[in-house]
Amino acid sequence: MKQRRTGYRIAAWIIAALVTILLIAIAAFYFLKRDLSEPISKKTGKPRPSKVKPILKAKLEDKIKDMIVEASDSLYHFAYSDINIDIDSGYATISNLRLTADNRVLQKLIANNKAPNNVADIRVEKMVMSDFGFTKTPEGRRFGVGKVSVLSPKVHITNKLRPNNNRPSDPSLLYKSFKSLFSRMHVKTMEVHNLDFRYVNKNRNKFDHLRNIDILIKDFTSSPVKSTSDKSRTNLKVGYFRMTSADKYYHIVARDMELLPAKKTLTIAQAAVIPRYSKERFHKIAGFAKDRYHWKFDKIRFEGIDVDQFIRTQQLFVDHKYVSNAWVEIYSNYNYPLKKENRRNAYPQERYQTIAFDLTFKRISILNSNIYYRILADKSDKVSTLSFIDTRTEIANLTNNEAQKKRKPQVEVFSRSRVMNAGLLKTWYTFNLLDKAGSYTVYSALGPMDARAFNPVSKPLGLIEVKEGRLNKMEAHLKMNEYRGTGNVNMYYSGMKIAFLERDKDTDTLDRKGFLSFVSNMVTPNDNPRKNGEFKKGPVNVEREPWQSFFKFLFDASVDGMSSAMMGVYQDGKGADKNILLKIGNAISGPDHTDKQKKKEAKQQERKEKREQRKKEKQDKESKD
């Protein structure tokens, strides 16, 4: 969801550019207001009807068409069913707007190396603009708009880079036509309802299609650049941006955004992904154990944005992205069943390659973040929390650009955090961007820490309590891909004692199972290495089910090695070790609804067989008749 935000913002700017068609018409009326005014008649004492305004209004459509044809080498056709502009009241509407490309003209432009990289198809049911006009400011006259509403727009963009194109670089047809007015403008509120946005990247054979999107923009301002001789550039500011996700579960919000092309920077005071429903309501609507995300990011800064290349090739390169502070909560409810859908090609680096927009971040630094995984466990009916506090993350070479991937085919990630605010965890990931199997390697080191710090996780989920113990060190070396995980997890611990729990429904507490806990502590080594110096390694060898998520499979592999190290029972190559410690792993990685699912599938199969039997009996009866 975080990588697609750039595409979402571009969609918003395309819609903003769309409004310029209406603004052109308004500007034409406004600049001629003195000539179009209706002076008082000396004979009647009443306003004298203007003869120019009806003529100009009648010719407005032809004028806009001519302008678009000239600017696009006759590529686009422009049409609308109705337009109404009232300069005096500052109100305007346009209905059923269409901006479509002529394919025959496009082919001619391609043959003559004059075709643009982007070809647009824009359709809008209705646009309404109110409270517009010019105001004086210390910097000069500024065109202001109180509110813009865009209803049911469909914006479809097809991108194809044309290296032999001898046509001068042109950022946008509409932007060029409205350059002088757009460079000093203020829009208080802009609403986009039910946006259908499709972006097709023919260079990479990828596309993004966003439906049912609602966008709210407040305090959009533009002003010419003062610090450079290049006056064609414009600074852009947005006070507030909000977009409703296509699935309607979230609001994506950003505050105080400022783009300074001369400095190649974009700053955002705060960005967030905010659930629209409470935790209880969220899972009732979803109907399964769906992860509920809640993210907040403060003080975001993009440096080294190559604006010129983006305008020229629609490829975005960013030297460095900083996030000062982040807060992340991922919540799930295991009282709902697990949705076992196919998740092939769903690893983070693989999903990033499916984005149609060409995006490269040379480096990303998240300076400080707190991350919480919270789960409402079905067995204990209590919330467990796995936390990563004071986390710092560095990401290098996050890209889906083909040339960049060939130069450097790995994404490198380093993370440092305090697990449960107790033990220091350092992790290094290396993701292969060219491997179709989605391979990556992991090395992590944790410890030392009091093992009891894991109780907020293990007690509600696995019904296991660590009574005593110290984790001196844990190291993991893993090789993972879409199908298999191998490697080793070595645990160094001492004085480990555990207790098994059960829920007392009368008192709503978790009580210890004394005998089972006693037996387990007799079987499980309390120290590794043991007092005689023997050390048990934790080999990893697990196969991935197609429905397992990235984190689920990674956790399974880690638990496989941990259980081998503690119990000395090694896997058979088909799955994780079958011992008591996997209760924790199975609980954390997903709700255990195997029996429920089997019963449900059996009932469905029984109903299907009965329907087929009735259908067959009916056919037999009809054939006899």
pLDDT tens profile 314-352: 889 999 999 999 999 999 999 999 887 787 788 899 999
Mean pLDDT of the 64-69 span: 57
Confidence of residue 580 (pLDDT cuts 50, 70, 90): very low
pLDDT of res. 474: 94
Separation between Cα atoms, residue 588 and residue 463, nearest integer Å: 11
Query: What's the average model confidence in pLDDT over 341-368?
Result: 90
What's the pLDDT at 625?
57
pLDDT in tens, 500-530: 767 666 555 555 555 444 445 445 668 888 8
Percent of the chain with pLDDT over 90: 39
pLDDT, greater one: 371 or 32: 371
Find which of 35-49, 197-211, 549-563, 600-614 is predicted with most confidence, using mean pLDDT.
197-211
pLDDT bracket for residue 230 (50, 70, 90): low
> For residues 55-85, b (16+ Cβ closer than 10 Å) or e, as one string?
ebbeebeeebeebbbebbbebbebebeebeb
Mean pLDDT, rounded, of the chain: 79
Q: What is d(CA 256, CA 299) in angstroms, rounded to the nearest whole number?
A: 10
Reported pTM: 0.79
Banded model confidence at residue 574, pLDDT cuts 50, 70, 90 = very low
pLDDT at position 75? 81
Query: How confident is the model at residue 562, as a pLDDT?
Result: 83
* β-strand partners of 148: 129, 190
CB atoms within 10 A of CB 279: 17
Q: What is the predicted pLDDT for the residue at 71?
A: 55
Token pair listed for 105? 């003209």
pLDDT of amino acid 496: 85
Using an 8 Å Cβ cutoff, are 461 and 375 in contact? yes
pLDDT value at residue 149: 94
The pLDDT confidence band at residue 623, using thresholds 50, 70 and 90, is low
pLDDT of 282 strictly over 70: yes
Q: Are 317 and 309 within 8 A, CB to CB?
A: yes
DSSP letters along 373-402, please? EEEE-TTT-SEEEEEEEEEEEEEEEEE--H
List pLDDT tens digits, range 148-170.
Answer: 999 999 999 999 988 766 554 44
Residue 532 burial (CB < 10 Å; 0-12/13-18/19+)?
Answer: exposed
DSSP string, 417-473: EEETTTEEEEEEEEEESS-TT--EEEEEEE--EEGGGGHHHHHHHH-EEEEEEEEEE
Please name which of 273, 414, 440 lies closest in space to residue 349, comparing C-alpha atoms. Answer: 440
How far, in whole angstroms, is CA 6 from its chain's centroid?
9
Residue 113 has pLDDT above 90, yes or no: no
Which span out of 274-288, 296-310, 451-465, 557-571 was modeled with the highest average pLDDT? 274-288
The most confident of 61-70, 132-141, 274-283, 379-388, by mean pLDDT: 274-283
Regarding predicted confidence, which is higher, 90 or 577? Answer: 90
Q: How far apart are CA 360 and CA 352, in angstroms?
A: 10
Statement: residue 595 has pLDDT above 60: no
Closest residue by Cα to residue 174 from 27, 19, 310: 19
